[in-house]
Amino acid sequence: MSDPISRDDVAHVADLARLRLTDDELDHFTEQLAAVLEHARDVEALDVADVAPTAHPFELSNITRPDEVRPSLDRDEVLGQAPSTEAGQFRVPPVLGEAP
Amino acid sequence: MTDTTTTDLAAPDAGLPGGWQMVIGLEVHCELSTATKLFCGCPNQFGSEPNTNVCPVCLGLPGSLPVANDAAVTYAMRLGRALHCEVKPSVFARKNYFYPDQPKDYQISQFDQPTNIEGWLELPDGIRIGIERAHIEEDTGKTSHVGGGGRIHEAGYSLVDYNRAGVPLVEIVGKADLRTPEQARQYVAELRSIILAIEVSDAKMEEGSMRVDANVSVRKADEPYGTRCEIKNLNSLRSLVRALDYEARRQIELLEDGERVIQQTRHWDEADGRTHTLRSKEEADDYRYFAEPDLVPLDPSAETLAAIDASIPTLPADRRQALATAAGVTPVEAAMAVERGLDDLALAAIEAGANPARVMTHVEHNLAADEAVRLDAANFAGLVTMETSGELTATQAKQVLAEMVETGGEPGAIAAARGFEAMETGALESLVDEAIAADPEAWAKFCAGDAKVTGAFVGYVMKATKGQADGKAVTELLRRRAAG
Amino acid sequence: MSPTSASTATAIAEAVRSGERSAREVVDEHLAAIEAREPELHAFNLVMADEARASADAIDRARAAGEQLGPLAGVPIALKDNLCTRGIPTTCSSRILEGWRPPYDATVVQRLAAAGAVAVGKTNLDEFAMGSSTENSAFGPTRNPHDTSRVPGGSSGGSAAAVAAGFAPLSLGSDTGGSIRQPAALCGVVGVKPTYGSVSRYGLVAFASSLDQIGPFATTVDDAALLLEVIAGHDPLDSTSIPQPAPSLRSELGRGVEGLRVGVIRELTGEGIAPDVARRVTAAADALAVAGAKVDEASVPAVAYGLSAYYLIAPAEASSNLARYDGVRYGLRVDASNSPEMMVASRTAGFGDEVKRRIMLGTYALSAGYYDAYYGKAQRVRTLIIRDFAAAYEDFDVLLSPTSPTTAFAFGDKTADPLTMYLNDICTIPSNLSGDPAVSVPYGVGDDGLPVGVQVLAPAMQEATMLRVAAALEASR
């Protein structure tokens, strides 16, 4: 059995998910997530070690498309939806560092 | 990561001080040269106007769904088989992290069930370097930094172009079997030759279609692995070797000063010749991998795999071995001919009876990589035979070969047209005598064993024959005269 | 509000094709109905009056030109606002997508247009389809046309209410854990969750990719079958689309249920089900028996774990699907001095509480150290549910259960405790986990006089048999 989700866990998870929570929200969400996870303990307790996981309801495989060029979108239409653009590109505030 | 024993047996010398040894593992990303991207029909094209090769799928627009590119999957499996990997039933997985150049803020990659596992690659000297896996994934967009001299940490803002987002990649994860920067260089060169041979990528490090990250640690021989650092931004083989050299020495210095190596990602700066901290990896990344629910598994049939195997040409290692055997040289000595794609020509010429040593000399010194196409192997063999039979001097042969490459002509005809006829020994002998008579002082020195004056006599004969005499034959005659 | 025969989609399409009515006349009538009652109900995020009139006129012109008209010629249809419509705002009832105009149409939207249907608007939903009442919409809730103090159900509450209120004879919703069937039950209309993979998801804004499926709302089983025939069938743009043509459904509806084996799911008729709802399920079973079906009790033990498995799997997939709303390419941006901060600020301001809750739950279920205990385990439970259904279908052709444990509840009743709200989905979730089809058919009313829905479940790709049973129930009301 795992420990119930803690306030620190929720803060960490919010951070991973790029969400900011106020102290009140943190309390509130911790309580609610703990209740949902408590309910999920019936699953946690099941012995399903010998059961294969299902990622997908049906067993399709090898679905591919031919390597043929299809029309791309009009750039003005694409950039027209963006909050900020410059020189045909999407503009963002400084990224601070490389991707992980 | 496991270690293959073959490498440790060889334990080549990295030239490190005080019994230190390097342990290197490379991760190579290779862009596949398909017509379209991995999961959509946008062109896979370098150098287009920003954000013109984009669609709902590669922009990650809400509601869009990926469909795998048949050619990309086939290329990835071909590469896997060329690296002696087992091609397994595989699934795509999402690697979750936020970054502006990642349109969905997750990358579709592979995780616990990659397409290719457990292969190896053979360096020219016969050492096998293990390949842990070669998996399929999509590339990211490109971020450029504006202001602050374009440096990432000082930029005022950044611009994102998604043309590259979704371009198919194979990431080849090598085992930590490499022990020297030179081995690392050979590994990447060999990988590149294989990729080019099976035509799945143009593998240009400078353009980024082949990208190398290196994991480096140091240890005293027979001790367990040390803490490793990952080095990024290695844009050429030269950078790779320099960066590995620098990084090993940096780590050794730290350890010898009683400090510790911190696990981190470092950036190679070609200009100042150092690696710099990018970010610490002490807190492990939590990518929350899970099977990509929008895609279904890949499970190639035996027929599919047989067809892929049949599409793989003879690979560089086997080509080196074949040429080495035919020419009576070592595989290392045969490497350059194979690297330049001249091995088929050389083999055909040797088979046609040409002298192997002369063939190898021409292939290594007198032919460029793209010249084999215009050169007929039988004509090449004919030229070598004319040379070894004394009909042509080495210098003449080189000139005839150059013209053959240019015109595709036949060596006999070219030699005749140029007036290259074997000079009779009698004529040559009288010219040598003339030369001796013209400079008795030098002749006395020659007879006393001073080889430096040889050039003067050869020069005289050459001038008299307008370069058509065989220098070696002249030297031989001089020796015989001196011996009396 | 029960449909007159002239207001069904089949009748409208027939009248428009024959020239008895113009498409324009039909759409104007429905726009008038919308104008009269939409302010009270808020079924729509957007009413597309101009676009609807223009496409109706185009159909009338096509007819005048002697062109062959499609099976939905001139039929007004409402689209859940998580279906992409080119150039027309698609919000998912979220601030984070407010004002976004997709540069492409969903596959179902294209198929509807090709069939001659006339889109009249984009319907309200729980934000990103996460909820069971539409109370989680950033733009305010939809009200139940039968009692405006009650919820219409959700997440496709707007689509269910639109059909129930006569705003359109047809609508499309999406169903991840019951989001079509539960609001259909609460609003007294027919709602179908097709077999996973039978309707293309291309252009449906994803909530949980391995569970999401688009399906029809209609006032009759026949209309639902007609709409499903139009939207189903293989789509090469969706890798999970079953590579088979759309099945023929309507031709099967009249075949009756003589000899069919019907199982009433024991685990979904006892505890947690309101007695008045349970009584309607019994009545439905009896009616099928009278019509010649062999009715018996069936057991699908693993459905007891459905809710737990679902509330780990769906949030996990959602946490990843909703990562892309980062303020870079489209939608809301809240400015900040650097990109990581901008992303945090935009997501914090753009998502509502329920969405945040599920993103965090899913992030937790996938995070290092918890994957095996939660997400991994839930996927194995999913296998158990699939096995148990398969075993039940050895003995039965279809299964029967309530759709929702209760009739429509009042606003605010279940918002305080998320788990109470989640328990609404216990009867519908198992079909999403198994991928099998299910339909909710209105079957009388509860003690409060509000509609009750009965759910018919069938094995994968057996929509024809399932809808035959639904049609028999409809006929027996």
pTM of the model as a whole:
0.90
Residue whose C-alpha is closest to residue B411's, from B377, B440, B438, B370: B377
CB-CB neighbors (< 8 A) of B91 in chain A: 55
Residue C3: band (very low, low, confident or very high) from pLDDT cuts 50, 70, 90: very low
Q: Tens digits of per-residue pLDDT, C172-201?
A: 999 999 999 999 999 999 999 999 999 999
Coil, helix or strand for B423? Answer: coil
Q: Which residues are CB-neighbours of C228 under 8 A, at least 6 positions away?
A: C192, C194, C199, C215, C216, C246, C249, C463
Q: b/e map of C261-283 (b: 16 or more CB within 10 Å)? A: bbbbbebbbeeebbebbbebbeb
Both tokens assigned to B207: 């353009």
Q: b/e map of C194-233 (b: 16 or more CB within 10 Å)? A: bbbbbbbbbbbbbbbbbbbbbbbbbbbbbbbbbbbbbbbb
For B79-151, list the strands marked E by DSSP. Answer: 86-87, 93-96, 106-109, 116-122, 128-138, 142-146
Residue C21 has pLDDT above 90, yes or no: yes
**Location of structure tokens 């009338």:** C60
Residue whose C-alpha is closest to residue C117's, from C173, C175, C52: C52
CB-based contact B63 C206, cutoff 8 Å: yes
Mean pLDDT score of chain C, rounded to an integer? 96
Are the C-beta atoms of residues B26 and B178 closer than 8 Å to each other? yes
CB-based contact C316 B290, cutoff 8 Å: yes
Coil, helix or strand for B252? Answer: helix
Residue B92 has pLDDT above 90, yes or no: yes
The alpha carbon dihedral of B389, B391, B392, B397 has a sign of: negative
> Where is B438: in which H helix or E strand?
helix B425-438
How far is A12 from chain B, CA to nearest CA, in Å? Answer: 11
What are the backbone dihedrals phi and psi of residue C410, each rounded to the nearest 5 degrees, phi first?
-80, 155
Are the C-beta atoms of residues C145 and C165 closer than 8 Å to each other? yes
Residue B305 has pLDDT above 90, yes or no: yes
Bridge partners of C296? C263
pLDDT at B2 (0 to 100): 42
Residue B408: band (very low, low, confident or very high) from pLDDT cuts 50, 70, 90: confident
How far is C20 from chain B, CA to nearest CA, in Å? Answer: 38
Q: What is the interface pTM, i.e. ipTM, of the complex? A: 0.96
Q: Which domains does chain A have, with CATH numbers?
A: 1-46 (1.10.20.60)
- C-alpha of A100 from chain center: 16
Question: Mean per-residue pLDDT for C95-111?
Answer: 96
Side by side, the strands of the sheet bearing B116-122 are: B86-87, B116-122, B128-138, B168-174, B20-31, B210-220, B229-234, B264-269, B274-280
Question: Domain residues for C170?
Answer: 1-477
> Testing the interface with C: which of A12, A54, A65, A86 to mutate, by most C Cβ within 10 A?
A54
Residue C135 has pLDDT above 70, yes or no: yes
Between B388 and C221, the higher pLDDT residue: C221
Residue C124 carries which side chain, given as an amino acid letter?
N
Tell me which residues of chain C, numbers 415 to 434, contact chain A at a CB-CB cutoff of 8 Å.
Answer: 417-419, 422, 433-434
> Within 10 Å of residue C53's Cβ, how many Cβ atoms?
17
CB-based contact B152 A72, cutoff 8 Å: no
Residue C4 has pLDDT above 60, yes or no: no
Q: How far apart are CA C77 and CA C112, in angstroms?
A: 9
Are the C-beta atoms of residues B68 and B91 closer than 8 Å to each other? no
Q: Tens digits of per-residue pLDDT, C274-308?
A: 999 999 999 999 999 999 999 999 999 999 999 99
Q: Does C319 touch chain A (CB under 8 A)?
A: yes
Bridge partners of C144? C147
Domains in chain C, number: 1
pLDDT at B6 (0 to 100): 39
Mean pLDDT score of chain B, rounded to an integer? 88
Both tokens assigned to C228: 């499903």
Are the C-beta atoms of residues B24 and B216 closer than 8 Å to each other? yes
The DSSP code for B477 is H
From first CA to last CA, the distance across chain B in angstroms is 70
pLDDT at C355 (0 to 100): 98
Q: Does A55 touch chain B (CB under 8 A)?
A: yes
pLDDT at A27 (0 to 100): 95
CB-based contact C320 B59, cutoff 8 Å: no
CB-CB neighbors (< 8 A) of C339 in chain A: 92-96
The DSSP code for C319 is H
pLDDT at B12 (0 to 100): 60
CB-based contact B286 C100, cutoff 8 Å: no
**Location of structure tokens 């991840």:** C176
Both tokens assigned to B218: 């140091």
Q: b/e map of B326-359 (b: 16 or more CB within 10 Å)? A: bbebebebbbbbbbbbbbbbbbbbbebebbbebb
Residue B76: band (very low, low, confident or very high) from pLDDT cuts 50, 70, 90: very high
CATH of residue C401: 3.90.1300.10
Q: Tens digits of per-residue pLDDT, B180-189?
A: 999 999 999 9
Both tokens assigned to B13: 């010398």
Of chain C, the percentage scoring pLDDT greater than 70 comes to 99
Q: Which domains does chain B have, with CATH numbers?
A: 5-309 (no CATH), 316-417 (no CATH), 425-483 (1.10.10)
∠ CA C437-C440-C445 to the nearest 5 degrees? 165
Question: Mean per-residue pLDDT for B257-282?
Answer: 84
Question: Mean per-residue pLDDT for B29-46?
Answer: 97
Both tokens assigned to A78: 């694409």
From first CA to last CA, the distance across chain C in angstroms is 15
Helix, strand, coil % over all residues of chain C, rounded to 5: 45, 15, 40
pLDDT at B13 (0 to 100): 65
Both tokens assigned to B81: 């088989």
Residue B202 carries which side chain, given as an amino acid letter?
D
CB-based contact A42 C304, cutoff 8 Å: yes
Give the least confident one: A91-100, B367-376, C219-228: B367-376
Residue B390 carries which side chain, given as an amino acid letter?
G
Bridge partners of C170? C77, C218
What are the backbone dihedrals phi and psi of residue B380, each rounded to the nearest 5 degrees, phi first?
-60, -45
Q: How far apart are CA B40 and CA C104, in angstroms?
A: 14
Residue B331 has pLDDT above 70, yes or no: yes
Helix, strand, coil % over all residues of chain A, rounded to 5: 35, 10, 55
Bridge partners of C453? C442
Of chain B, the percentage scoring pLDDT greater than 90 comes to 51
Are the C-beta atoms of residues C254 and C470 closer than 8 Å to each other? no
Are the C-beta atoms of residues C455 and C467 closer than 8 Å to each other? no
Across the interface, which of B52, B68, B99 has its CB nearest the CB of A99? Answer: B99
Coil, helix or strand for C284? Answer: helix
Rg of chain B over Cα atoms, rounded to whole angstroms, equals: 29
Q: b/e map of B63-99 (b: 16 or more CB within 10 Å)? A: bbbbbbbbbbbbbbbbbbbbbbbebbebbbbbbbbbb
Q: Which residues are CB-neighbours of A88 under 8 A, at least 6 positions away?
A: A75, A79, B49, B50, B51, B52, B161
Q: How far apart are CA A86 and CA B138, in angstroms?
A: 25
